[in-house]
Amino acid sequence: MTLLNKQEDKQLLVISELYRQQQEMYTHRIEDRIVSIHQPHVRPIVRGKARARVEFGAKVAISLVDGYALVEKMSGNNDNEALTLQEAVERYRERYGHYPEAVLADQIYRNRENRKYCKEKGIRLSGLPLGRPSKKAQSEQKHIAHKDSAERNAIEGKFGEGKRRYGLGLIQARLQKNK
């Protein structure tokens, strides 16, 4: 028989694990470090934004096709979202039978591996190409990059719409089973 109820027993286990992690942090980096006793499954996500360097909540990767936003990946872990580009492009091909003409991606998605992948598939990846462009191509590339950036605003708008109209900005907790 125990003096603690079920919730208190769970919190005691979380606190003992938190204590163990704190001791270990003096010499090692800890994966899946506990940052909340009440929600030990929640992970901090380092974003590097000016207002908040660390955020809590889900990272959501979406694609926008004909005005419809499709959730490509949702994760509460601090993983690199650039890895979702190729998966999203392959899902697009499965849905529509062909690769997209262009992918208007944020800066983090435009790494060498994704650039190479898009080039192999004949997909134009937004943003300026790597390296120094010729004088002739420089003006045209800047114009295309500016146009792509303007079109990408629709995706940012979908996140704002989700927060304003559908209450996504009100989500403050995550259930452990949806980890």
Q: Based on the fold, state whether residues 31 and 83 are members of the same structural domain.
A: no
Between 1 and 155, residue with greater pLDDT: 155
Provide the pLDDT for residue 83: 79
pLDDT of 24-58, one tens digit each?
877 777 777 777 777 777 777 676 666 777 766 66
Residue 71 falls inside a structural domain: no
- Residue 12 within any structural domain of the chain: yes
Residue 120 pLDDT more than 90?
yes
Q: What are the φ/ψ torsions at residue 102 (nearest 5 degrees)? A: -145, 155
Could you give the count of Cα atoms lying within 13 Å of 51 in the half-sphere of its Cβ? 1
Quick check: is 111 in a domain?
A: yes
What average pLDDT score do residues 137-166 get? 76
Asked if 36 contacts 42 with a C-beta cutoff of 8 angstroms, the reply is yes
Query: Is residue 19 predicted with pLDDT exceeding 80?
Result: yes
Domain enclosing residue 37, as ranges: 6-42
The chain-wide mean pLDDT, for the chain, equals 78
pTM: 0.60
Q: Domain check: are 32 and 96 in the same one?
A: no
Asked if 97 and 158 sit in the same domain, the reply is yes
**Domain total in the chain:** 2
Is the confidence at residue 114, as pLDDT, over 70? yes
Checking if the pLDDT of 153 tops 80, the result is: no
Query: 38 and 83 share a domain?
Result: no
